Structure 1
Amino acid sequence: MLMIGPYRMGFELAPREGKTRLRVWIDYNLPSGFPGRWLGRLLGTVYADWCVTRMVKDSASAASFKTV
């Protein structure tokens, strides 16, 4: 990947007030090379946010969750 280096994605489900709370995250490191590191600083957060948002929306539509 050009914008992020090694990464780890995950999710957590927990009961909350009779419902289920979904927490999704992505931890990443910037690439080591100059072009990748520069792109990572510029676009890495945007890309990570897009990935997490996509995971939440896909989960909500698959399980009929309501997003908060």
Structure 2
Amino acid sequence: MSRVFSILLIALGGYYLFQKRYRVINTILRNPFIRKYAVRILMNIPSVKRTMMNSVFGRSKDTIYQ
């Protein structure tokens, strides 16, 4: 019975977090150290980095940034 109750609580918590996901992300990223670390991780992903650099500097999609 307690296992079913635990699974139910996890499911309800997941649903609530999904409903409030943007508020949770904004709350977490309010901390400058966490925000800096998150940006650093995202910029290590090549497709994200390429998209960001293209939108900021307006270069063609064939340009590779190092």
Fold shared, TM-score > 0.5 on shorter chain? no
TM-score range, shorter chain: under 0.3
Structure with a larger share of its residues in strand: 1
TM-score normalized by structure 1? Answer: 0.24
Larger Rg: 2
| Structure showing greater relative contact order (alpha-carbon pairs closer than 8 Å, 6 or more residues apart) | 1
